[in-house]
Amino acid sequence: MVVNGFLKARIGLIGPRPESFETCALDEVTLIRVFNQRVIPVSLVEAGAVVEKVSDTEIRRITQSIRNEVDVSTVSEEALTKMARLEYSLLALTDKWRLDAMGIQCWGPMYRVFGVAPCHVSGRLVDRGIMVACEADILGALTMLIQHLASFKKTSPHFIDWTVQHQEKENVFLAWHCGNAPPSLAKDRPKINQIGMGVFQLKPGIVTINRLAEYEGKFKMLVTTGRILESHQSLQGTWAWVEVADLKKLYEAILKNGFTHHASMIHGDYTKPIQDACEILGIEVVRV
């Protein structure tokens, strides 16, 4: 499942990589040569033009779907309409280019085109089986794709940042991003804010955390597991406190192997299928 879905994958690059995110740069030629994959660049001009002829009926359908799924009590009708237009655009581009995943330009330029942040829309697309990584991170999107395939497309991953250590617990870190987690992963009823970001804690449980990296034509995959702990804190974005066996050893492996600040986290232990797939695909496994 993983190997067949990963080879020949088509990944959209929606908008340019943010200028300062050099960690998200990639070698497209190597992806073609090693995995027969294709990166399809799509400008934000094209993405914005897609929604020019969308019907009001379709926008109302999407906004109602958002209302049914999350708490929108602090969100205006105008903001919901903008989110619906963005979602329609990304879905239309997925269909047009037959995309398996995408990395999106989720900062200022995207906001200026659509008027909202794409965070919650990204999470909704992941729940529909379209992997979406922030900050135009193509290798991050491919990491998500591998996890999703390992679950037989039944579990949605969360694209995270490695962030701070817990204030009191030695081997616990904050797995966080700006609000892009799929609503299906929420511990309680998910909530979104006025600019389109999810605001909720992820449900507790065992998780697998991965990151794909490439240096000089060689690929490696970080493979580790942890456990999401339930918390009574109230934080912004979409987040979880994750306990691992040895946080110092994990961060050391990230630094020494050149894994970036992004990773993908999925509920369940998928270490064996992911490691087996990496062996077939010729990807070195870094197990922590």
pLDDT at 77: 96
Topology of domain 2-287, CATH: L-fucose Isomerase; Chain A, domain 2 (3.40.275)
What per-residue string of b and e applies to 66-104 under the rule 16 or more CB within 10 Å gives b? beebbebeebeeebbbbbbbbbbbbbebbeebebbbbbb
Domain ranges of the chain: 2-287
pTM over 0.85: yes
pLDDT classification of 71: cutoffs 50, 70, 90: very high
pLDDT classification of 47: cutoffs 50, 70, 90: very high
Burial class (CB in 10 A: 0-12, 13-18, 19+), 187: middle
pLDDT at 260: 92
* Residue 107 pLDDT exceeds 80: no
**Across 17-21, 152-156, 164-168, 197-201, least confident range:** 17-21
Cβ atoms within 10 Å, residue 250: 19
pLDDT classification of 18: cutoffs 50, 70, 90: confident
Contacts of residue 239, defined as CB under 8 A and 6 or more positions apart, other chains included, come to 174, 175, 176, 177, 201, 202
- Tens of pLDDT, residue by residue over 133-163, are 999 999 999 999 999 999 999 999 999 999 9
